[in-house]
């Protein structure tokens, strides 16, 4: 039986949201715009989500899937969006808030809890046909709708991307003009505009901020006016700015995501083998 057609009776041509807080309820937006909440058996959802998670891991050459229904349930904060064509689920996007330390243009570390793109996959047979754009826009709209009453907005440049693949980088540049990265010391990628008009304000690290203030005072012009948006001068001693890309990340072998190896080494063959067998030993058909 083809796992990806298991939801064909409820999800034809639709986009749906699965939330960690209600992991049995699919909130489905039909092609005509009507919204329906449908309760789905856990086993069915588990098969579909875990299979897509496995396909995604294989596509990105990760050693283990980072998306399973169990991981979604355990997260409490993540949301998973599914997209279907006429007969099968063709992709998913997983997002969630994470507390991160993100370096800004001035090398100041900021504590921030951005919405993160954690996993994103469209079936190989449906890539480059607009499904990725449709599900990404759906996610942005959903976030905006949730924040509407606080007069807040979620813009693509406010997102943090967990080790984006080359395909995802190309996707983000094509549709959302995101290309100029602010270098980070972790596996997340953020783009120019990340700190502008954020709905969730960033808290600059006090030590970094004080250093920034003192070094920017050092860079004041003779007339005494600060050079606005000048990068801080290197202090004369005692402080080394956070490394932009540490050597262990620079030198690490790149997986398809291109950034770091936090999910372990490549292990495509074993994942590819699992792809052909579900938990009951039944052979899965790969479209």
Nearest by Cα to 123 from 87, 96, 95? 87
Q: Is 124 annotated as a binding residue?
A: yes
Task: Name the DSSP class of 283.
Answer: B
Compute the least distance from the CB of residue 210 to ligand ACO, in Å: 34
Q: Which of residues 96-125 bind ligand ACO (CB under 6 A)?
A: 117, 119-122
To the question of whether residue 131 is assigned a binding role by annotation, the answer is yes
211 labeled binding residue: no
**β-bridge partners, 123:** none
For residue 174, say whether it is annotated as part of any ligand binding site.
yes
Cβ–Cβ < 8 Å for 75, 96:
yes
Q: Is 201 in the site for ligand ACO (CB under 6 A)?
A: no
> Is 27 annotated as ligand-binding?
no
Shortest Cβ 172–ligand ACO spacing (Å): 8
Member of 162, 184, 188, 194 binding ligand ACO (CB under 6 A):
162
Check binding of 131 to ligand ACO (CB under 6 A).
yes
Contact 11, 28 (CB under 8 A): yes
Query: Which whole-number Å values give the CA distances from 20 to 23, 24, 192, 207, 216, in the listed order?
Result: 5, 9, 30, 36, 44
Q: Let me know the angle formed at the C-alpha of 78 by 72 and 83, rounded to the nearest 5 degrees.
A: 80
22 binds ligand ACO (CB under 6 A): no
> Quick check: 76 binds ligand ACO (CB under 6 A)?
no
**Residues 169, 171: Cα–Cα separation, whole Å:** 5
Alpha-carbon dihedral 201, 80, 68, 263, rounded to 10 degrees: -40
Nearest approach, Cβ of residue 169 and ligand ACO (Å): 8
Quick one: which of 266, 257, 256, 274 has its CA closest to 68? 274
157 in contact with ligand ACO (CB under 6 A)? no
173 is in an annotated binding site: yes
The binding site for acetyl-CoA comprises: 120-133, 165-174
Contact positions toward ligand ACO, by CB under 6 A? 56, 59-60, 117, 119-122, 127-133, 161-162, 164-165, 167-168, 170-171, 174, 257
Q: Known binding site: residues?
A: 120-133, 165-174
């Amino acid at each position: 039986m083809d796992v990806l057609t298991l939801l064909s009776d409820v999800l034809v041509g639709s986009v749906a949201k699965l939330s960690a807080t209600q992991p049995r309820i699919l909130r489905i937006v039909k092609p005509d715009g009507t919204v329906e909440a449908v309760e789905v058996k856990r086993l069915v959802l588990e098969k579909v989500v875990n299979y897509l998670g496995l396909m995604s891991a294989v596509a990105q050459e990760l050693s283990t899937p980072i998306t399973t229904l169990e991981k979604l349930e355990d997260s409490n904060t993540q949301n998973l969006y599914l997209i279907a064509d006429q007969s099968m689920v063709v992709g998913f996007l997983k997002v969630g808030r994470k507390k991160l330390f993100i370096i800004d243009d001035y090398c100041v570390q900021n504590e921030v809890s951005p919405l993160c793109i954690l996993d994103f996959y469209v079936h190989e047979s449906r890539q480059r046909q607009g499904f990725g754009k449709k599900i990404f826009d759906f996610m942005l709209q959903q976030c905006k709708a949730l924040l509407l009453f606080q007069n807040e907005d979620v813009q693509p440049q406010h997102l943090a991307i967990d080790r984006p693949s080359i395909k995802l980088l190309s996707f983000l540049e094509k549709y959302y003009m995101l290309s100029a990265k602010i270098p980070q010391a972790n596996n997340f990628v953020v783009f120019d505009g990340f700190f502008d008009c954020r709905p969730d304000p960033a808290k600059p690290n006090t030590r970094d901020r004080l250093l920034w203030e003192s070094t920017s005072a050092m860079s004041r012009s003779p007339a005494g006016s600060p050079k606005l948006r000048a990068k801080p001068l290197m202090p004369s001693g005692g402080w080394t700015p956070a490394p932009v890309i540490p050597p262990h990340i620079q030198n690490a072998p790149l997986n398809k995501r291109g950034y770091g190896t936090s999910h372990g080494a490549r292990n495509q063959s074993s994942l590819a083998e699992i792809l052909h067998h579900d938990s009951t030993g039944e052979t899965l058909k790969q479209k």
